[in-house]
Chains A and B, each alone.
Chain A
Amino acid sequence: MSEFAPLQLLDALAEHEGYETAVYCTYSIDLAFFEEAVLRRLRHNRCRRHIIFVDSERYADTISQWRDCTQFVGQQYLLVPVRLHPFQAFHPKLTLLVGPERGRLLLGSGNLTFTGFGQNHELYTCLDWTPDQPETAPLFQATWQLIETIQAQWGHNRLVNEALRKTAYQAPWLSTSTTDKSEHLAFWHNIDTSLLDQLEQVVNRAEVKRLTILTPFLDKQAEAIAELHRRLQPAEIRLILQPQQAVGDATALAVLQAQAVPLTCYPFGDNNRYLHAKLLLIETDTAVYALSGSANCTRPALLATPLSKGNLETVLLRQTEPSNYFDYLLPANLLPNNPVAPSEINLRPPTLPETGDSAETALSPILQLLDLRLESDILHLQLRWQGSVSTAVIGWQLQLDTTPPVYLPLTLTEGQQHTAVPLLPPDWGHLVDTAGIGQGRECARRRPCWRYTE
Chain B
Amino acid sequence: MNPRWITPIYQEETGQDYLGLRLVQEHIVDFLLPGIITITPRARYYAFYSWLLVEYAQKHPTGWSFNRFIKRREQIFGLANVIFDRSVVGLAGYQKFAAHWQNYLDAPEIPLTVDDYLQAGRGGYDAYAGVMRTLELVAEHEDQQGWEVTLKGQALAAAFAQAIAGTRYYRQRRHYDEAETIEVDVLLEYGAGCALDLLAQQPDQLPTLACLFAFDTPFAPDPRRVENSRLGNMRGTLGLLLDMLTQAEQPLTENVFRRHVANATCTDYPAYQPASALHPFVAQWQMFQWRDIYTYGLYALWSYFLHWLKGRDRDSFENFGEHVAAVLSPTAVNNTLNLSLPSTNIGQLSLKQHLADLLDAAGAPLGEWHERCHTLAGSSQSPLNPQTVYEKLAASNLQTPDVYLAASWLLLATLYLRLCTLPRESAAWHWAEEGGARRRSLALFVAGMEQRSENDVSVQETWQWLFRDYVIAQHTLASLDKWRQRRANTFHFRYEDGWFSFVRDGRADLSAPRIRQAVDMLRDLALFAVDPETNRPFLTDLGHQTWQQVVEGNHE
Contacts and interface: CB of A to CB of B under 8 A. Distances in A.
B206 interface: no
Interface string A171-213: 0000000000000110000000000000000000000000000
Interface in A295-329: 316, 318, 326, 329
A6 B3 CA distance: 9
A37 B485 CA distance: 12
A68 B468 contact: yes
Contact of B497 (A3, A10, A28, A136): A28
B2 A118 contact: no
Interface stretch (B62-70, B226-234, B301-309, B448-456): B448-456
A241 to B, nearest CB: 15
B481 to A, nearest CB: 8
A286 to B, nearest CB: 19
Contacts of A5: 4
Nearest to A139: B1
Interface in B314-364: 314, 317
Interface string B455-478: 101000000000011001110110
Contacts of B1: 3, 125, 127, 136, 184-185, 318
B2 A66 contact: no
Contacts of B473: 32, 65-69
Interface residues of B, number: 38
B9 A124 contact: no
A274 interface: yes
B496 A276 contact: yes
B369 interface: no
Contact of A123 (B3, B448, B497, B498): B3
Interface in B427-455: 437, 448, 451-452, 455
A443 B479 CA distance: 24
Interface string B1-45: 111111111100000000000000000000000000000000000
Q: In terms of DSSP, what is the predominant structure of the interface of chain B?
A: mixed
Given A119-B8, A127-B1, A403 B448 contact: yes
Interface string A396-415: 00000001100000000000
A274 B496 contact: yes
A122 B469 contact: no
B174 interface: no
B238 to A, nearest CB: 39
Contact of B480 (A32, A120, A403): A32
Interface in B475-517: 476-477, 479-480, 483-484, 489, 491, 494-499
B452 A403 contact: yes
A8 B480 contact: no
Nearest to B455: A404
B308 to A, nearest CB: 15
B208 to A, nearest CB: 47
A329 B3 contact: yes
A279 interface: yes
Given A4-B4, A318-B3, A404-B455, A10 B9 contact: yes
Ranked nearest first, the 10 interchain pairs of A and B with the lowest CB-CB distance are A118-B9, A68-B473, A292-B3, A68-B469, A404-B455, A6-B7, A7-B4, A123-B3, A403-B451, A36-B480
